[in-house]
Chains A and B, each alone.
Chain A
Amino acid sequence: MLKCRTVWKKLAPLARASSTVCRQNVRRAGLNNGRIPTSVPTAHMSSGPAGGGGDNLKYALLVGLAGIGGLTYAIITVKGDQKRYEKRIAEIESRPSKATTDVQPKAPAVEASEPEEAVPEPEPEAAPSPEEPSPPAEVAAPGADVEAVAHDAEVAASSQTTEPPPADEPLVEASTEEAAASPAAVPVIEEADEPVVESPVEAAAPAAALVVEDEPSPPSEPPPAELSEQEPAPTAVEESAILTEPAAAAAGPPAAEPPEPQPEVVAESAADSTPASAKVPSHAPYLLIGGGTASFAAARSIRARDPGATVLIVTDEPDLPYMRPPLSKELWFSDDPSVTETLRFKQWNGKERSIYFQPPSFYVKPEEFDSAENGGVAVLTSKKVVHMDVRGNKVKLDDNTEISYDKCLIATGGIPRNLQVVERAGEEVMKRTTLFRKIEDFKSLEKVSRNINSITIIGGGFLGSELACALGRRSTESGLEVIQMFPEKGNMGKVLPEYLSNWTTEKVKREGVKVISEALVKSVKYKDDKLEIHLKDGRLVKTDHIVAAVGLEPNVDLAKSAGLEVDSDFGGYRVNAELQARSNIWVAGDAACFYDIRLGRRRVEHHDHAVVSGRLAGENMTGASKPYWHQSMFWSDLGPDVGYEAIGIVDSSLPTVGVFAKATAKDTPKAATEKSGTGIRSESETEDTATSAVASATPAPAVEHKDDYGKGVIFYVRDKVVVGIILWNVFNRMPIARKIIKDGEEHADLNEVAKLFNIHED
């Protein structure tokens, strides 16, 4: 309203100006000619009543002809469609019909995106001519129809849906698009495997027949369909509007019989089509591929910023989104024997929580996806996206259903790498090897570890060391032998400077783990019901089970079909600083190789990064255009006594400066989480000031540790600038560390910088 006023205010003077100019012109002309105004031709307004008689006639003729042309066209179309409809019904009736599932429904909420995606190629051409991408979509079972779909668009147009389509025009034009699609679609439908919903189809067809503006010949080639498409499009968007509108308004279009039953049919089929459970929505405004941490963070971000947004998560795991860190830490420390079922872990402060981000009631069911009033997040489990069509803005699942999207996030994470020697070693060895990443891996390893005598973890990084410590703890109760082997000199050899890595290795050994360092595996054999691991230096290790924790292979399966770039240095999809791969496609989490403005191009495989990048991707999907700026952190605990938090590039090949003090009992991970009330240390920084307080822990009496490296700060320096910081047994100082990295300044004396952390204080 205000806008109108301001616009009017702006235009009014212009209008006045132009009218005065006109009047002045007239008068001037009059003066020049020395005549009285009456004989001067009055100023013509272009939209006024036509002056000359001859012009009038021509005009009337033109309009008349156009009108008649349109009318004839409409009649022909409608008649043709009726014929096709009849043919279709006959065909359907001859098929056995399944009464159960209904493909219908989501018509209302689904905007201009219904057109049956018969043939992908011709579609894009049809698409541009009208409007914004109404991505052609194939509803659930391929058998679900153009007619049904067209009908849906119909119903949508006519019934003032809950989610108003972006504009009526695109919807209308989409129907013209569908029209183009439908002839081509008809042959496809014939081939459809699943004759899913017949009854609503029948009801839908009549309505559809009338909406569809088409070439009379059903199996017309797409090109002619497009030609016809192109024709009406430029000339008369209005015409299609005219056609569908009367249909919508239930006023018979200028034709014969068929239109009349239509309104009733529409009402009828609307009633019929209610139940609907195409379990897979055909269109998602926001489609998130992958159901992990990054995806969930993005979903939350989108929902926070775009009110009423509907977000669809598609994951190939059977589980709802969950967090990974407890799988290698807290869940192992649980006293609850049913932990593998409940997946709940007790944090150090006694507060229990599930690894699932949210319980099932948080999510909207996929069936109700389109009709959710205030939007919501729906999760499609056990469905893998196998193909991505970037031009058509849609993806295909492993069961051949297609989902179209407006914005898409790829957060596919990765799959654990395996050792070549293990892969070559045969099935018996493979059966006794775990690649640890998912809930099911945790469950199976937990079970296995109870029933065997010896387990070997290959890999000395975060996952390997954490699992070794967790299993080592168990070994004290169960007598399980836990071995950890890796090629480096010490645990976390690629992350921590050598002195600290050695110190850490000692700690791990104290947790009950047999550590074999500088171990390169030559071969693995299965013999006498045992696995024999032969090392290159001749050592032999006999064990019952192997856990391979040798890295993550980012999942870039969709790169080929989507035509997305893959980074050759770091792996993963190459995206820009705003996490964008292409116009409507973002990538976040483990799979994203992104440009960090401060630290350069990198790919990060940590939980907090997944949260931060997922959140950022969600913001950018809703228009924020922010680059990766808030630096993510990571943390690791090696038993209850050693823990550290880190940020930035923490690569042991960089020169480091470590500033240490002596640790007291207060400086342990246990104390840190007790203070902050969370088990996930990245959250201790950001969450929960909105809710009331935090468990106050009574600190244990100060105990002096004899270790040299009790607590401190380690700076990783590249070209004199601090690019990474580890807070060693020093907690809740991450914001300072983040600030230092963000500044990117050259500091002459890093001891002075270390003062900022107050490492001696609690």
Chain B
Amino acid sequence: MSSVREEGKDTIIFVTKEDHETPSSAELVEEDPNDPYEERGLILPSGEINWNCPCLGGMASGPCGTEFKDAFSCFHYSKEEVKGSDCLEQFRAMQECLQHYPELYPQEDDASSSQTLQDSASAEPSGSNSTPVSEQDHDSTLPSTQS
């Protein structure tokens, strides 16, 4: 059982696992998916890419930012069956730019940057389906207490 102790103005409660097994009765305010103030994930409610997403790291703001944005935008809006197959030129240009800055964009292997984009691409669908709590996009280790 949980024990409660008061020390002046501070309350201390010890709980066992069983104590916390029953679902919480605390009520959380419902999220507004269109809250303009909220920090957004990778994809904004309007469907556009949030270039300011911390998940992109410095990709959109660095020296190859323009190339990256072009390539990724093209991919994002691509309607081809193999998504992004019509964007090879942009990706090639981006790859070329990345090679100019090996210090910034270390190329562990040739597939690394395309891998990055594939992962962000897969992050996309999850991003667009995400619950209004935007952090859920980013934190894959978050227990699903909020769905």
Contacts and interface: CB of A to CB of B under 8 A. Distances in A.
Interface string A289-327: 000000000011111110110000000000000000000
A719 to B, nearest CB: 14
A478 interface: no
Contacts of A685: 135, 138-139
Nearest to A761: B143
Contacts of B138: 685-689
B26, B39, B61 pick with most chain A CB within 10 angstroms: B61
B104 A752 contact: no
B120 A615 contact: no
A275 interface: no
Interface in B57-78: 57-63, 65-66, 69
B61 to A, nearest CB: 4
Contact of A361 (B17, B37, B104): B104
Interface in A563-604: none
Interface stretch (A101-109, A201-209, A427-435, A735-743): A735-743
- Main DSSP-derived SS at the B contact region: loop
B142 A740 contact: no
Contacts of B142: 732-733, 735
Interface residues of B, number: 63
A377, A619, A683, A752 pick with most chain B CB within 10 angstroms: A752
The 3 lowest CB-CB distance pairs between A and B, nearest first, are A303-B61, A755-B24, A304-B51
Given A361-B103, A498-B7, A686-B55, A735 B12 contact: no
Contacts of B139: 684-686, 689, 732, 735
B78 to A, nearest CB: 18
Interface string A600-631: 00000000000000010011000000110110
A657 B13 contact: yes
A308 B141 contact: no
B46 interface: no
B65 A691 contact: no
Contact of A377 (B26, B61, B103, B133): B61
A687 B23 contact: no
Interface residues of A, number: 74
Contacts of B12: 499, 658, 660
Nearest to B135: A735
Contacts of B9: 654-656
A755 B13 CA distance: 12
Nearest to A376: B63
Interface string A643-687: 000000000001111111100000000000001100000011111
Interface string A482-518: 0000000000000001110000000000000000000
B82 interface: no
Interface in A513-530: none
B37 A753 contact: no
Contacts of B88: none
Contacts of A2: none
Given A626-B37, A655-B9, 6 more contacts: A300-B61, A358-B104, A499-B7, A626-B36, A688-B57, A688-B138
B50 to A, nearest CB: 8
A535 to B, nearest CB: 27
B140 interface: yes
Contacts of A658: 10-13
Contacts of A753: 24, 26
Nearest to B97: A374
B60 to A, nearest CB: 5
A357 to B, nearest CB: 8
